[in-house]
Every structure is written in structure tokens, then in C-alpha cells.
Structure 1
């Protein structure tokens, strides 16, 4: 049995565990990412991170995108799944249509949206101008007051397919006799949902919220393609901040420290949220 597990275990150790330990080691150095040598500086990188306004801006953006996308995607996906579950015809067609955005990589999707939102020739502003609403045309990716919300919208548009199908699969596994019994007792559609359906899909809510939160914490492709963290540092997320300081500014030690912080944030937030939702499952 060990012989079957050993190859995968070795690959996992070499590709995940060893680099993770090395990241922790480099976070205590002043390595620039290029030089052969470096000096240990202890927790100086972590102290610099705590004092960095740019880092806390990235933390704020990550929280907005992570929690925002998780909540919005789950609400919309659940509503769409409920609609699909009620369909009697062409359910497969609509299910495929809902899932299609998930087949496109975040990088490609962001590239498409970058052209659509271009201020000068993008389709969004062009349509607004043709409709006689030129004052509504905006520099969607260059306006610091709205750029983060634009990225949030694009992120939600990308993540919904898998979430919807998970909800739909769970909705179709809810025993119909329970729903029929509730209706016979005079329960309204809303009462049936909150007292029968909602508790039965609690496991799906936990899975989808956890996956969406993890995806939100490590948003990178959208920021890289759409804004490169701009204007200025306004739209940087923690993942992009790590990339920028580590590879763009040649502060690999500082970037490694930020990566360790991100890892801790992801683990703590995910475990806490998962524990809360598991507790809700039991209560339900």
C-alpha cells in the first residue's frame, strides 16, 4: 500500500512542503531574489509589513474581494440553482450555459473584460455613448473610486459556475416527500425553503463558502491583467502585493514574509469559517 502512496507523497513533499519551509526561512532574510547570498534579519520583514500602509491597503482589498465575492457568488448561485431546479425542460442546456464561464481561465476572462471596459474603444462605454449617455462612460479600470468594485464584479462573474452546480446537485438530492409533506401541512414556498430545503443543503453552503473564500483570498490574475495593482497601489491584493515586491521590486525576503502572513490569514479564516458553518449544519 505504501508503494502506491509513496510517489505522490514524494512529489507533494518536493513541490509543496519544501518550498513552504524555504519561504518561511527566506522571510527572515534580506534576499533580493537574485543574489547568491543573503543575510538573516530576523523578524525585521514582519515589522516592516506591520508598519506598511501599502500592505494594509492590500489586506483591506483582499477582505473586500474575498468576503464580497464569497457572499455575492453564493447568493446569486443559490438563486440560479433554485431556478434551474424548477425547470422541467431544457435543464441541461441552461446548466451548460451557467457553467460556461467557469471553463474560461481567470486570465483570459480578465483580458476580455479589459477590452470591454477600455475607456476609449471599449464596448461598455461605446454602448453608453450610442445610447446618448456619454456622462455615464467611465474609466472603469483607472478610476480609483470604483476600480475595486469593478474587479469584484468580474471576479463574481468568473466564480459562479461551479458554485451553482454544487447547489443544484444538493437541491436535487433533497427528499421530495419532505417538501410535499410540508406543503400538505400548509407551508408556503418560503417556509418550505427555510425549514426543509435550507437545512438539507447546509453541507453545500459550507463547501461553497469555504471554496469561495479561499479563491477570494488569493485573487491575482484579475488584478495583474486589469490594473497591475493601479492606479498607484489602489487595487493591490495580498497575492499581487507579494508578487510585486518579491519579483518586481527585488525584495524576495519581504515578499516571503508577506506570503507567510497570507498563508496564516487563509488558514485561520478558513478554519474559523468552516467551524462556524459546520456548527450551523449540526444545529440545522
Structure 2
């Protein structure tokens, strides 16, 4: 009697296991084409770049010689490379902090706007819809020393002493780039913060106010811990985007004046394709990859720990 009742159950279990396995195989088959494309377009070129970093290939010739770690040694002893590292740190880490700070402030303001909220959200998000190339081209004309809108307005306002060659002054050009990057990359970050703010339970906010908490205490003890997930996402994405800054530098300064405003991404491009030192450029790309991976892992570890504590 027991065997007759167990058989249908075991048959049903086998059927469920079969269907689960079949669904997994079906889903995997849907993913396979994308995996093949990713393998051919990302993984294999990356491995080839690692291989070429140990050669003196110029990017054109059919032959090249193995030079071992010479490219890495030459790079790590190059002042130009360390200048690119410095600029990348300023633009990468600086833009990540500034963008998140400004975006969080804008999200808090938008969360308290009840009239024409859609209009103001559109205005804040609008710069994110414009490509970095187009936005940089517009700013390049606006910051032109002779006929740019910025210097023209300063002259008309009687502040001619404040006019600058914004993109040609080696002392300020990197800070100008930082401002422009923060201006164009904050739209998505603001919307992520705003969507998270609107999911904060209002019961907790009201309870804190009833207990006598002021606006700052409500934000610090209620709202801020609730934003832990969006802070992790936004800071990580901003940091990665900061390490890979290229378009703005290419359009606005081309790395100039001289090599003053080069970033690591632009350094890889100019050395590999502009100076026909593909092996040297591949070594720089490998170092950039390692830096991005290490910084991303460290920031994620720190931010994930903060989420758990919150």
C-alpha cells in the first residue's frame, strides 16, 4: 500500500526536476548568442591586449618583438604617465563624490516639490540625454577665450579681469574638466536617488517628527540609512565612469595644453593610436583595467558593509 502511494509522488518529483532542468537549458540557450558575442568582442580582445603589452608592436606592422616587462617599466618611470594617473584620480574620485553630493541634494529638493514636479525633473535629467561629445562641443565654444559666451558675459559685466583661457590654462584646465563632467553626468544619479527617496516609508518619517526630531535628524537617522542601496549603485557607477573619461578630454583639450589634461583612458588612446606604440598602449590599458577592478572591489566592499550596518 505504501509503495503505491509513493510512486505517484516520486513520478511527480521526477517530472518537476525534468521541467526545471529543461527550463534551465532553454534559458541558457537564449543566453548563448550573447555569450558568444561577449567572448569575441570583449574577452578575446582583452586577452590579446594583455599579450601585446609584452611586445613592441606599433599597431601597423605584421611582426613584433617580445620585450617582456619593458613597457611596464618605462611607463612606471614616466612623468607623463603619472600625470595621467593624477588627473584620473582627480576626475574619477572627485566627480564621483561631487556628482553624488549634488545629485542627492537635487533629489531631496525634487522630493519636496509638489507643483510642476514633472517639469523640474525633466530639466534636471535633460543634460543626461545629450551625448558627452555634443555637450563637450557646446562647452568648447562657450569657453573659447576670444568669442566664448562665458568670457563675453564677464566682459559685458565689467569683470574682464576674471576672463580666462579656460581650456588653455594648465593651472585650471583639469578643474574646468571636473566641473563639466559633473554637470553632464548627474541626471541618472539624481533620478536613482529620487526613486529611492519616494520608497522611504513615510510612517517612519512621521514617527521621527512626532518624537521631536528636526529635519537634519530625520535625514540622518531615517532617510540616509534607507538610501544605502542607491548610494552603493550611484557611487560605483560614477567611479567607473570617472576612470574611463575620454570624450570630454578628446573634444575639449585633446590632452593639452601639452600633456597636462591627459587621463589614463586618453593616454591609452593617444599612445596606442596617435603615436603608433600599440604595445605600450596595451600595457597602459592593462594597468587601467587593474586600477578600475581594484577600486571597484574596494568601494563595493566598503559600501556593502555600510548597507549591512544601516
TM band (smaller chain): over 0.9
Mapping of residues 267-282 of structure 1, within 5 Å: 267-282=293-308
Bigger-Rg structure (1/2): 2
Alignment partner, residue 82 of structure 2: 56
Matched, 1:192 2:189: no
Q: Distance in 2 between matches of 1:269 and 1:4?
A: 33
Tell me how far 1:3 sits from its aligned partner.
1.8
Number of the residue aligned with 1:80: 106
| Structure 2: unaligned runs, 5 residues or longer | 1-25
Q: 1:149 is matched with which residue: 147, 154, 175? A: 175
Whole-Å separation in 1 of the counterparts to 2:141 and 2:309: 48
Q: 2:197 and 2:159 mapped to 1: Cα distance?
A: 42
- Match for residue 71 of structure 1 among 74, 81, 97: 97
1:184 CA displacement: 0.5
The root-mean-square deviation of aligned C-alpha atoms, in Å, is 0.5
Please give the per-residue CA displacement for 1:221-257, whole angstroms capped at 9, x wherever unaligned.
Answer: 0000100000011000000000000000000000000
- What is aligned with 1:217? 243
Q: Which string of whole-angstrom CA distances, capped at 9 and with x for unpartnered residues, describes residues 31-67 of structure 1? A: 0000011011111111111111100000000000001
CA distance in 2, matches of 1:18, 1:92: 45
2:202 aligned to which of 169, 173, 176:
176
- 1:1-284 superposed matches below 5 A: 1=26, 2-284=28-310
Deviation at 1:89, TM superposition (A): 1.2
- Please report how far the alpha carbon of residue 182 of structure 1 lies from its aligned counterpart in structure 2 after TM superposition: 0.5
* Unmatched 5+ stretches in structure 1: none
Tell me how far apart the structure 2 counterparts of residues 232 and 179 of structure 1 sit (CA, whole Å).
54
Question: Secondary structure of 2:144's match?
Answer: coil
Tell me, in whole angstroms, the C-alpha distance in 1 between the residues paired with 2:38 and 2:117.
Answer: 40
User: Residue 5 of structure 2 corresponds to which residue in structure 1?
Assistant: none
Counterpart secondary structure, 1:35:
coil
Moved over 2 A (4+): none
- Say which SS state the counterpart of residue 212 (structure 2) adopts: coil
Alignment size in residue pairs: 284
Aligned partners of 1:107 and 1:266: how far apart in 2?
23
2-structure distance, mates of 1:187, 1:132: 48
Q: Deviations over 1:165-193 (max 9, x none)?
A: 00000000000000000000000110000
TM-score, length-normalised on structure 2?
0.91
